[in-house]
């Protein structure tokens, strides 16, 4: 029996119960290896309903053995996904069922529809689209989606999102500072400098409070026929300053070979599209503040990965490799903090 067999059997039993067919079968089951957050399982499901055969491709997102951005809150993600179904202009996969207690596979999970398409990433984007205009078209679509996310009525969102009860516009910064300090590793001078800088510049936030995706970038979008058909990976969603998302899209880490945000749009184009989409300007100081924050957050995430391996919470060798990648991100921190080219 393979190591994944118990999970597959658990998934089959869970889906058989949801779809009321004890004979339900799974095919083409595979665990996706990309990403370091939720365990993602893809499967083709065959079942019968009232004697009629049905087939559907599904995705299960299972709490990971050692994820980078805990807590992994299945009920919270489930409720958010359901709320987003009603948000105009925000494409998300349809959530179907949840196992919040982990009865089926030993860890909590939720199941959603599989969305056909591709996930472009900045390092292959130059070959993904026919020309610069096609890339920019997709980039503007993404920024339109971002504007739609930021127009969602916060009061209509499920309770329990981080930041909902904390009116401090820089609360997300202190949240990540706390994660960094609780790691208890040796101090990282650039991060100490950056958190001090963020504290001194906390007045540069926009003052707006919206739903923030938390990791809004092209690599979290599914694209089909040149259109954005789903935004994924909402585990960092919270209430806060929406400029954080704009800056995340513009991060140096995701500029690819073309050295432009997401590999698709110039910064001026990002900001002008966002102005049209959201009705709000983003000032250079606001963008700089959140660029530095996003660089810092990514670097802290790398430290978390290395720490998980060092403490034997995972044996995924990729986590160990993160410790030697952190200096690259710290260079991004300093470049944005000094605000040079």
Residue ranges binding other proteins (CB under 8 A): 2-3, 186-187, 189-190, 192-193, 195-197, 199-200, 253, 306, 309-310, 312, 315-317, 320-321, 323-325, 327-331, 334, 337-338
Q: Cβ 327 to other proteins, closest distance in Å?
A: 4
- The residue (of 3 and 130) whose beta carbon lies closer to other proteins is 3
Q: Cβ 241 to other proteins, closest distance in Å?
A: 20
- The residue (of 65 and 116) whose beta carbon lies closer to other proteins is 65
- The residue (of 197 and 249) whose beta carbon lies closer to other proteins is 197
- The residue (of 79 and 295) whose beta carbon lies closer to other proteins is 295
- The residue (of 26 and 306) whose beta carbon lies closer to other proteins is 306
- The residue (of 123 and 156) whose beta carbon lies closer to other proteins is 123
Q: Is 252 left (phi over 0), alpha (psi -120 to 50) or beta?
A: alpha
Q: Cβ 323 to other proteins, closest distance in Å?
A: 6
With beta carbons less than 8 A apart as the criterion, state whether 87 and 148 touch: yes
| Distance (Å, whole) CA 217 – CA 70 | 20
3-state SS assignment for residue 111: strand
- The residue (of 74 and 330) whose beta carbon lies closer to other proteins is 330
What 8-state DSSP symbol labels residue 115?
-
Please state whether beta strands 109-113 and 210-212 pair in parallel, antiparallel, or not at all (unpaired): unpaired
- The residue (of 155 and 200) whose beta carbon lies closer to other proteins is 200
> What residue ranges in 34-144 does DSSP mark as E strands?
39-49, 52-62, 95-99, 109-113
With beta carbons less than 8 A apart as the criterion, state whether 97 and 14 touch: yes
- The residue (of 103 and 323) whose beta carbon lies closer to other proteins is 323
Structure-token pair, residue 201: 């510049």
Q: Cβ 58 to other proteins, closest distance in Å?
A: 24
Q: Cβ 314 to other proteins, closest distance in Å?
A: 9
| Distance (Å, whole) CA 174 – CA 171 | 5
3-state SS assignment for residue 227: strand
| Distance (Å, whole) CA 19 – CA 17 | 6
What 8-state DSSP symbol labels residue 34?
S
Q: Cβ 186 to other proteins, closest distance in Å?
A: 5
CB atoms within 10 A of CB 132: 13
| Distance (Å, whole) CA 145 – CA 139 | 10
Q: Cβ 193 to other proteins, closest distance in Å?
A: 5
Q: Cβ 236 to other proteins, closest distance in Å?
A: 18
Quickly tell me which residue has 């009860």 as its tokens: 165
Torsion of CA 180, 162, 292, 230, to 10 degrees: 120
* Residue 71: cis peptide before it, omega within 30 degrees of 0: yes
CA end-to-end span of the chain, whole Å?
A: 54
Q: Cβ 3 to other proteins, closest distance in Å?
A: 7
């Amino acid at each position: 029996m393979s190591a994944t067999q118990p999970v597959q059997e658990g998934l089959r039993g869970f889906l058989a119960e949801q779809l009321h067919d004890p004979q339900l079968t799974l095919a083409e089951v595979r665990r996706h290896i990309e990403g370091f957050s939720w365990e993602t399982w893809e499967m083709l499901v065959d079942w019968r309903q009232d004697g009629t055969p049905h087939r559907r491709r599904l995705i299960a997102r299972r709490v990971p053995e050692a994820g980078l951005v805990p807590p992994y809150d299945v009920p919270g993600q489930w409720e958010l996904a359901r709320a987003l179904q009603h948000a105009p202009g925000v494409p998300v996969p349809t959530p179907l069922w949840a196992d919040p207690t982990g009865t089926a596979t030993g860890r909590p999970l939720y199941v959603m529809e599989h969305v056909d398409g591709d996930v472009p990433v900045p390092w292959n984007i130059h070959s993904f689209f026919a020309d610069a205009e096609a890339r920019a078209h997709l980039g503007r679509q993404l920024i339109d989606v971002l504007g739609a996310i930021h127009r969602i009525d916060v009061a209509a969102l499920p309770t329990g999102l981080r930041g909902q009860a904390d009116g401090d516009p820089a609360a997300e910064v202190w949240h990540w500072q706390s994660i960094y300090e609780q790691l208890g590793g040796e101090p990282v001078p650039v991060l100490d400098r950056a958190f001090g800088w963020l504290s001194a510049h906390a007045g540069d936030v926009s003052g707006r409070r919206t739903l923030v995706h938390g990791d809004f970038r092209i690599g979290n979008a599914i694209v089909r026929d040149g259109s954005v058909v789903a935004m994924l990976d909402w585990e960092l969603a919270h209430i806060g300053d929406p400029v954080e998302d704009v800056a995340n899209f513009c991060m140096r880490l995701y500029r690819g070979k073309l050295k432009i945000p997401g590999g698709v749009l110039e910064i001026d184009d990002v900001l002008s599209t966002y102005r049209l989409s959201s009705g709000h300007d983003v000032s250079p100081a606001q963008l700089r503040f959140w660029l530095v924050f996003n660089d810092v957050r990514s670097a802290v995430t790398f430290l978390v990965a290395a720490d998980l391996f060092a403490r034997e919470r995972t044996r995924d060798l990729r986590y160990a490799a993160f410790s030697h990648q952190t200096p690259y991100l710290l260079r991004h921190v300093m470049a944005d903090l000094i605000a040079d080219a």
